[in-house]
Amino acid sequence: MAQSSGDMERLLPLLEMAYQADQLKMAKILARIRDLRAQLDALERPQTLPSEDITAATLVGADLLWERWVHDRKVLINQELALALRDREMAKDGLTKALSKREAAKQVQKRVSIGVRQTQERRSSW
């Protein structure tokens, strides 16, 4: 029983580190998602041009090269966003598993320590 208790004491910090690593991975993915959404929002906002840059083409919205570039950029950002959202779901699964393992190990360690304490109390009463 004492061997099991020592094993659990060595295992808990490892499980804690694994959980923290998964939390860090999730934070990086969430930051990437926020960045991509901010890029999309920036493309949605109308760009104001200085008055000397205004041409007849921009006044009627016929600046096709710009519109094409914006469209292509949105497509790329949306593809990256889809991949980031997929990564978030995969990381969420990993994070849940790491948390579950950590909490289960804590419960096992708690039961082992209670068992050791009860055994010591019984032996001390002899």
Domains and CATH numbers, the chain: 2-44+62-124 (1.10.287)
CA-based Rg of the chain, rounded to a whole angstrom?
28
Q: DSSP assignment, residue 60?
A: T
Predicted structure pTM score:
0.72
- Using the structure block, give the residue that is written with the tokens 């096992």: 108
What is the sign of the dihedral through the CA atoms of 109, 114, 119 and 124? positive
pLDDT one digit per residue (tens) for the chain, 126 residues: 455 667 778 888 999 999 999 999 999 999 999 999 999 999 987 666 556 666 666 666 667 788 888 999 999 999 999 999 999 999 999 999 999 999 999 898 888 888 888 888 778 776
